[in-house]
């Protein structure tokens, strides 16, 4: 039976009150849970979330350091940082992208071929980001931009610091250049220090002293919103943003004299080759010119692929540093060293004479080693042999000395090993020996050392190669009568903030001691005779000099002439002509400057190379520079 | 006895203000609670809106409209509301069907009905019409409700809830369901039914999972592990927790919350404004706001208990508790306790419809309460 229920107001009110109280209790309990959750988030985990929030709002912006300035010997700036102008594009401000790019092309600010690349570049970045679309604008382009600025919303002219070499090509091989950091570079550098730095030294001083020049990058935190757009700090938002100031790199004071370098380069008159000048009393490199040079500014401002290919494919190899990396047969320039070795090993005395009929043959051999002078030099002693550059005398001397002693002596003078100059890329050349031949040649029959190979070393031919720097270095040793310094390009480092100068002392190497010190003078006298004697090979180049020059000419064969042929300069293709060499120091009695000159395919050392050295000597000694 | 004490105290402290309040059928205590939350809300919204002052001004205007609606409804006699309940429910149901057939799509959901000047969400109407209908149905019957009544009410609730959930608007569906369900609970629903209901819900979980849309499933999954999708669905929850957590005890200061001001916090002026409170005003701000909600709910329940019949009691209690559900669900989702279901923070979040509905509800509460006084002892 179904019970009939009627409404009971009191009961209902009681139930309602009871249920209300339960509901209120549940509500309070739930609010406590919420408060507990808030407590957990805001008190217990506060540090964790604070850090996340900081990471959200701050973006780290790099502050690039100022690269050190490079001064030459006299304090002239040879590498500096100058503002460069670039065009930046902000898509969201530009309206229609294609129309804007068309306008830029029309105003001569963008190459038509470049449009698709720039379009992709701009579209790959966020709409509010400033994307650099053109680097290093020239004056005309800046003027063009200024005139049309009102038609180019979203296109801005920005200033950035860029490396600038005021002397252009003049110092290119000594200074080297900076260029965009490559992936290969990134492997070997500390990325934090390079934060914000776009370039790195690639060659020369810029590379060797990259660490000192760089300094260290700084950073600052910039407030950003969720889109990554940087925002102007509002009120308390600006607080607690961290930053670290960048540290500028060290300035460098070079041993190089850029004006003397100019003299050398001008004296080369557009020919290919190398000129090195050293102060023999310290190893200071005053001139380091490899020709042709290149404009390092092109690399610093971002070289185009086309321009880079033009440089690498140029048959004159402008990027090749002939001074350090060019290995050439030294030719007759090594005759003074060979004579010195003869004296030191006591196989010859200065007054011993040799009859030169114009050729030399080994016993039991019909092969004739020819003298450059077909009719011969007649009877010559050491002095005359050096002065006239008699080949036969030195064929005989080399044969008497033998390969082992030649090798040992020339090694002590520095041939066959890098000089250790303080920039990279140097090669050691070859100072051959039977041992060397065994390691280089694979086939047994090629590993044999032939007596004839010793003979031609006497005139600096055969396997022997040396760099122009090695020749200068060896000449400096001669000039200093055995004292020896490592060649260097850096004299001092300057701390840019305090101005503190850290001088680098010249690096003396173990001196070469002779059994009889008088032998130095025998050789030096003969070298003075080269420029002053009655039949000296460099007399013309030193006529009228107010100081005494000790020198030696050299001519290095590029291709060999047959036994019966006569070498005819005018008929040989320019590229196959001999290299002209000249080594010298002056004043002979108290040397202040050592020079080594190489003119590729220049012909004779006396006519092509010696006048270059003369011009440099004149500039340095006659005007009392240095 | 209880009532007499309250009445006598009221009589002793009569002032010009209370006289005006009584004339306008308003409740001073409830009104102060609502005013406190609203002012707090406008204060926070000013910061959350950032540079967008227009947004803040438009919210201010909506408060004006909402208060006008509240005061107007407070003047409506309770018997009229009781009479209107079935009509409002049927009208709401018809409109929901109309929306499903011809509504506008906004933010990927079909919930708007364009009636010339205003765009209107019938689901908002149902927030009030459903509990009113339930209270109307139950007040004619003896309480606690019989099994048949429970089923009838459940049916009355579930039809509009499913229609709303299908739009899809999970948040509103949840609130409408809560409003109807709370009427049953306050009416004396037996705990046995409650347990049975829990069991049914438990059994319904797999079914619901299959019925859920992808984004709803994603929200549930993301709740369980926000880091699994840090830049997608989990982004909201992660960023809001960072905002609240980094606020600490005292907060970063008004308008100084980096998460909110730099737009890392999504929906900072609407559904996630609770995180702005946490970030800028700290734990103290959050607790103060939650305390204010508790005060309003408590006062609402107190007023409901003073009502003279089942309809007014049930309706008033449902309005008060639904307000709590609102606040709890929003705060729970923003702090990462509940899935993100799109429920605004009452009286604080930017948004017109829900604000007006809320204040209209409190208007009803006051109307019902004042009817007691007019006809009381």
Q: What is the ipTM of this complex?
A: 0.89
A237, closest residue in chain B (CA to CA): B256
* pLDDT band of A208, cuts 50, 70, 90: very high
| pLDDT tops 90 at residue A617 | yes
Give the tokens for residue A67. 């690269």
Please tell me chain B's helix, strand, coil percentages from 3-state DSSP, rounded to the nearest 5: 75, 5, 25
Is some CB atom of chain B closer than 8 A to the CB atom of A234? yes
CA B9/CA B94 separation, integer angstroms: 47
- Three-class SS string for A428-489? CCECCCHHHHHHHCCCHHHCCCCHHHHHHHCCCCCCCEECHHHHHHHHHHHHCCCCEECCEC
* pLDDT band of B106, cuts 50, 70, 90: low
> What mean pLDDT is predicted for residues B76-80?
88
pLDDT of residue B145: 87
The candidate with the shortest Cα–Cα distance to A600, out of A611, A591, A608, is: A608
Pairing of strands A70-71, A251-254: parallel
Is some CB atom of chain B closer than 8 A to the CB atom of A11? yes
Report the residue of A14, A16, A55, A232 to disrupt the B interface, i.e. the one with the largest count of B CBs within 10 Å.
A16
| pLDDT tops 70 at residue A74 | yes
Domain ranges of chain B: 26-75+226-377, 81-212
CA A105/CA A488 separation, integer angstroms: 49
CA dihedral sign of residues A144, A146, A152, A158: positive
CA B199/CA A375 separation, integer angstroms: 124
| pLDDT tops 90 at residue B363 | yes
pLDDT of residue B222: 67
Q: Is-contact B293 B323, C-beta < 8 A?
A: yes
| pLDDT tops 80 at residue B113 | no
Who's near A143: CB < 8 A, 6+ residues apart?
Answer: none
* CB-defined contacts A:B, below 8 A: 155
| pLDDT tops 60 at residue A2 | no
pLDDT of residue B111: 62
| pLDDT tops 80 at residue B117 | no
The candidate with the shortest Cα–Cα distance to A154, out of A192, A125, A194, is: A125
| pLDDT tops 90 at residue B90 | yes
Please identify which residue in the block is written with the tokens 């701000």.
B285
Q: How far apart are the first and last CA of chain B?
A: 12
Q: CB neighbours (10 Å) of residue A60?
A: 15
CB neighbour class for A467 (10 Å; exposed up to 12, middle 13-18, buried from 19): buried
pLDDT: is B372 or A286 the higher one?
A286
Specify the range with the lowest mean pLDDT, choosing from A42-51, A525-534, A568-577: A568-577
| pLDDT tops 90 at residue A154 | no
| pLDDT tops 60 at residue B107 | no
Is some CB atom of chain B closer than 8 A to the CB atom of A543? no
Q: Per the CB < 8 Å rule, is A19 touching B287?
A: no
CB neighbour class for A484 (10 Å; exposed up to 12, middle 13-18, buried from 19): buried
CA A437/CA A486 separation, integer angstroms: 28
Mean pLDDT of chain B: 85
Interior angle at CA B79, CA B76 and CA B80, nearest 5 = 50
Is some CB atom of chain B closer than 8 A to the CB atom of A20? yes
* Strand positions, DSSP E, A35-134: 58-63, 70-71, 77-90, 130-134
Alpha-carbon gap: A232 to the closest alpha carbon of chain B (Å): 11
- Three-class SS string for B69-133? HHHHHHCCCHHHHHHHHHHHHHHHHHHHHHHHHHCEEECCEEEEEEECCEEECHHHHHHHHHHHH
pLDDT of residue A240: 63
B326, closest residue in chain A (CA to CA): A27
Looking at chain A, the whole-number percentage of residues with pLDDT higher than 70 is 93
Report the residue of A12, A128, A222, A240 to disrupt the B interface, i.e. the one with the largest count of B CBs within 10 Å.
A12
pLDDT: is A214 or B8 the higher one?
A214
| pLDDT tops 90 at residue A306 | no
Q: Least CB-CB distance to B142: which of A8, A17, A41?
A: A8
CA B318/CA B108 separation, integer angstroms: 30
Looking at chain A, the whole-number percentage of residues with pLDDT higher than 90 is 54
Q: Per-residue pLDDT tens for B183-238?
A: 999 988 888 888 888 888 788 778 878 877 777 777 677 666 666 666 666 788 88
Q: Per-residue pLDDT tens for A235-282?
A: 445 556 778 888 889 999 999 999 999 999 999 999 999 999 999 999
Q: b/e map of A158-174 (b: 16 or more CB within 10 Å)?
A: eeeebbbbebebbbbbb
Looking at chain B, the whole-number percentage of residues with pLDDT higher than 70 is 86
Q: Per the CB < 8 Å rule, is A31 touching B294?
A: yes
| pLDDT tops 70 at residue A614 | yes
pLDDT of residue A232: 60
Q: Is-contact A155 A106, C-beta < 8 A?
A: no
Report the residue of A10, A25, A31, A55 to disrupt the B interface, i.e. the one with the largest count of B CBs within 10 Å.
A31
* pLDDT band of A335, cuts 50, 70, 90: very high
CA A65/CA A497 separation, integer angstroms: 13
Please tell me chain A's helix, strand, coil percentages from 3-state DSSP, rounded to the nearest 5: 40, 20, 40
B-chain CB neighbours of A228 within 8 Å are none
pLDDT: is A135 or A436 the higher one?
A436
Per DSSP, B371 falls in state: H
Q: Per-residue pLDDT tens for A460-487?
A: 999 999 999 999 999 999 999 999 999 9
Q: CB neighbours (10 Å) of residue B63?
A: 19
> What mean pLDDT is predicted for residues B267-287?
93
Q: Per the CB < 8 Å rule, is B328 touching A50?
A: no
pLDDT: is A605 or B86 the higher one?
B86
CA A564/CA A153 separation, integer angstroms: 78
pLDDT of residue B231: 60
CA B258/CA A226 separation, integer angstroms: 10
The candidate with the shortest Cα–Cα distance to B65, out of B38, B33, B37, B104, is: B38
> What mean pLDDT is predicted for residues A531-552?
88
* pLDDT band of A611, cuts 50, 70, 90: very high
* pLDDT band of B1, cuts 50, 70, 90: very low
Give the tokens for residue A30. 């739930």
Q: CB neighbours (10 Å) of residue A435?
A: 12
Active site residues of A: 332
CA of B38: how far to CAs of A221, B34, B256, B290, B291, in Å? 38, 6, 21, 13, 14
Q: Per-residue pLDDT tens for A120-148?
A: 888 877 777 777 788 778 888 889 898 98
pLDDT of residue B2: 47
pLDDT of residue B305: 92
> What mean pLDDT is predicted for residues B110-138?
79
Please identify which residue in the block is written with the tokens 């499933």.
B217
Q: Per the CB < 8 Å rule, is A42 touching B253?
A: no
Per DSSP, A230 falls in state: B
> What mean pLDDT is predicted for residues A193-222?
84
Mean pLDDT of chain A: 87
pLDDT of residue A489: 95
Which residues numbered 376-405 in A keep a CB inside 8 Å of some CB on B?
Answer: none
A225, closest residue in chain B (CA to CA): B262
CA B260/CA B244 separation, integer angstroms: 10
Alpha-carbon gap: B16 to the closest alpha carbon of chain A (Å): 32
The candidate with the shortest Cα–Cα distance to A572, out of A553, A594, A557, A555, is: A557
pLDDT of residue B57: 92
B-chain CB neighbours of A235 within 8 Å are 253, 255-256
CA A134/CA A127 separation, integer angstroms: 18
CA B43 to chain centre: 20
Cis peptide bond upstream of A102, omega within 30: no
Specify the range with the lowest mean pLDDT, choosing from A105-109, A563-567, B278-282: A563-567
pLDDT of residue A476: 96
- Three-state DSSP class for residue B240: helix
CA A437/CA A430 separation, integer angstroms: 11
> What mean pLDDT is predicted for residues A12-19?
91
pLDDT: is A372 or A576 the higher one?
A372
* pLDDT band of A9, cuts 50, 70, 90: confident
- Three-state DSSP class for residue A293: coil
Q: Is-contact B295 A25, C-beta < 8 A?
A: no
pLDDT of residue B375: 47
Q: Least CB-CB distance to A226: which of B146, B245, B264?
A: B264
The candidate with the shortest Cα–Cα distance to A275, out of A467, A425, A424, is: A467
Q: Per the CB < 8 Å rule, is A20 touching B186?
A: yes
CA A289/CA A204 separation, integer angstroms: 12
Q: Per-residue pLDDT tens for A410-435?
A: 999 999 999 999 998 899 999 999 99
pTM of the model: 0.66
């Amino acid at each position: 039976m179904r019970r009939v229920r009627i409404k009971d107001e009191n009961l209902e009110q009681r139930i309602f009150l009871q249920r209300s109280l339960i509901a209120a209790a549940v509500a309070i309990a739930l609010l406590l849970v919420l408060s507990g959750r808030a407590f957990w988030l805001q008190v217990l985990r506060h540090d964790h979330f604070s850090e996340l929030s900081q990471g959200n709002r701050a973006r780290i912006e790099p502050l690039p350091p100022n690269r050190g300035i490079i001064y030459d010997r006299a304090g002239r700036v040879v590498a500096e940082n100058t503002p460069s102008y670039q065009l930046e594009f902000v898509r969201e401000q530009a309206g229609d992208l294609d129309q804007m790019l068309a306008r830029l092309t029309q105003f001569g600010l963008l190459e038509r071929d470049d449009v698709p690349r720039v379009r992709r570049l701009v579209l790959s970045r966020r709409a509010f980001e400033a994307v650099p679309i053109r680097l290093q604008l020239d004056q005309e382009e800046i003027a063009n931009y200024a005139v049309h600025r009102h038609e180019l919303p979203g296109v801005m002219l920005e200033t950035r610091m860029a490396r600038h070499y005021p002397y252009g090509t003049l110092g290119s091989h000594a200074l080297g250049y900076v260029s965009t950091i490559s992936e290969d570079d990134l492997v070997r550098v500390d990325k934090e220090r390079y934060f914000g730095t776009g370039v790195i030294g690639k060659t020369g001083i810029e590379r060797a002293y990259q660490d000192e020049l760089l300094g260290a990058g700084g950073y600052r935190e910039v407030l950003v919103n969720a889109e990554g757009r940087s925002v102007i700090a509002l009120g308390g938002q600006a607080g607690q943003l961290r930053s670290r100031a960048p540290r500028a790199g060290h300035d460098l004071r070079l041993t190089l004299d850029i004006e003397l370098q100019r003299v050398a380069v001008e004296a080369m008159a557009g020919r290919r080759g190398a000129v090195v000048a050293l102060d023999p009393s310290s190893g200071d490199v005053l001139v380091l010119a490899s020709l042709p040079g290149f404009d390092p500014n092109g690399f610093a401002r971002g070289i185009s692929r086309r321009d880079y290919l033009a440089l690498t494919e140029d048959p004159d190899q402008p990027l090749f540093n002939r001074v350090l990396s060019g290995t050439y047969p030294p030719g007759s320039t090594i005759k003074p060293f060979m004579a010195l070795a003869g004296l030191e090993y006591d196989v010859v005395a200065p007054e011993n004479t040799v009859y030169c009929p114009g050729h030399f043959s080994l016993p039991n051999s019909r092969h004739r080693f020819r003298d450059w002078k077909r009719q011969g030099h007649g009877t010559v002693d050491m002095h005359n042999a050096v002065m006239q550059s008699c080949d036969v005398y030195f064929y005989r001397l080399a044969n008497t000395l033998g390969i082992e002693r030649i090798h040992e002596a020339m090694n002590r003078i520095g041939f066959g090993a890098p000089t250790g100059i303080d920039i990279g890329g140097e090669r050691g050349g070859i100072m051959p020996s039977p041992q060397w031949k065994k390691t280089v040649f694979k086939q047994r029959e090629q590993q044999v050392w032939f007596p004839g190979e010793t003979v031609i070393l006497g005139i600096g031919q055969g396997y022997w190669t040396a760099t122009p720097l090695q020749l200068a270095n060896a000449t400096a040793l001669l000039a200093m009568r055995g004292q020896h310094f490592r060649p260097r390009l850096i004299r001092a480092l300057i701390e840019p903030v305090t101005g503190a100068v850290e001088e680098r002392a010249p690096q003396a190497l173990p001196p070469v001691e002779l059994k009889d010190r008088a032998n130095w003078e025998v050789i030096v006298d003969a070298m003075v005779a080269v420029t002053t004697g009655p039949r000296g090979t460099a007399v013309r180049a030193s006529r009228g000099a107010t100081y005494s020059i000790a020198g030696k000419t050299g001519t290095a064969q590029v291709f060999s002439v047959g036994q019966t042929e006569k070498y005819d300069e005018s008929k040989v293709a320019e590229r196959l002509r001999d290299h002209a060499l000249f080594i010298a120091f002056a004043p002979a009695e108290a040397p202040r400057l050592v020079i080594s000159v190489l003119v590729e395919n220049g012909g004779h050392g006396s006519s092509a190379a010696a006048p270059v050295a003369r011009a440099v000597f004149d500039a340095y000694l006659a005007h009392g520079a240095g | 006895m209880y009532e007499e004490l309250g009445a006598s105290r009221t009589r002793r402290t009569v002032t010009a203000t209370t006289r005006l309040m009584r004339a306008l059928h308003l409740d001073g205590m409830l009104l102060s609670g609502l005013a406190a939350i609203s002012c707090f809300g406008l204060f926070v919204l000013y910061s959350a809106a950032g540079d967008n002052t227009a947004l803040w001004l438009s919210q201010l205007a909506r408060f004006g409209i909402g208060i006008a609606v509240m005061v107007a409804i407070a003047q409506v006699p309770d018997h009229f509301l009781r009479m209107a309940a079935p009509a409002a429910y049927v009208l709401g149901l018809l409109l929901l069907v109309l929306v499903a057939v011809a509504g506008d799509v906004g933010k990927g959901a079909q919930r708007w009905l364009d009636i010339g000047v205003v765009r209107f969400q019938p689901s908002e109407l149902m927030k009030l019409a459903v509990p009113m209908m339930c209270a109307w149905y139950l007040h004619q019957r003896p309480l606690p409700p019989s099994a048949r009544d429970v089923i009838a009410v459940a049916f009355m609730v579930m039809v509009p809830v499913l229609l709303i959930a299908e739009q899809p608007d999970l948040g509103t569906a949840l609130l409408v369901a809560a409003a109807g369900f709370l009427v049953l609970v306050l009416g004396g629903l037996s705990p046995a039914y409650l347990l049975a209901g829990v069991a049914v819900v438990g059994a319904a979980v797999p079914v619901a999972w299959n019925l859920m849309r992808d984004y709803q499933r994603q929200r549930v999954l993301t709740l369980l592990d926000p880091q699994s999708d840090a830049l997608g669905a989990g982004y909201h929850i992660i960023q809001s927790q960072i905002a609240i957590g980094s606020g600490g005890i005292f907060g970063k200061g008004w308008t100084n919350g980096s998460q909110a001001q730099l737009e890392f916090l999504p929906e900072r002026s609407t559904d996630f404004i609770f995180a702005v409170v946490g970030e800028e005003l700290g734990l103290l701000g959050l607790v103060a706001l939650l305390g204010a909600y508790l005060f309003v709910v408590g006062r609402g329940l107190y007023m409901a208990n003073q009502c003279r019949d089942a309809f007014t009691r049930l309706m008033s209690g449902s309005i008060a508790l639904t307000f709590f559900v609102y606040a709890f669900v929003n705060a729970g989702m923003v702090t990462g306790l509940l899935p993100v279901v799109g429920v605004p923070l009452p009286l604080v979040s930017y948004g017109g419809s829900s604000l007006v509905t809320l204040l209209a509800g409190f208007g009803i509460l006051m109307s019902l309460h004042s009817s007691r006084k007019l006809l009381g002892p």
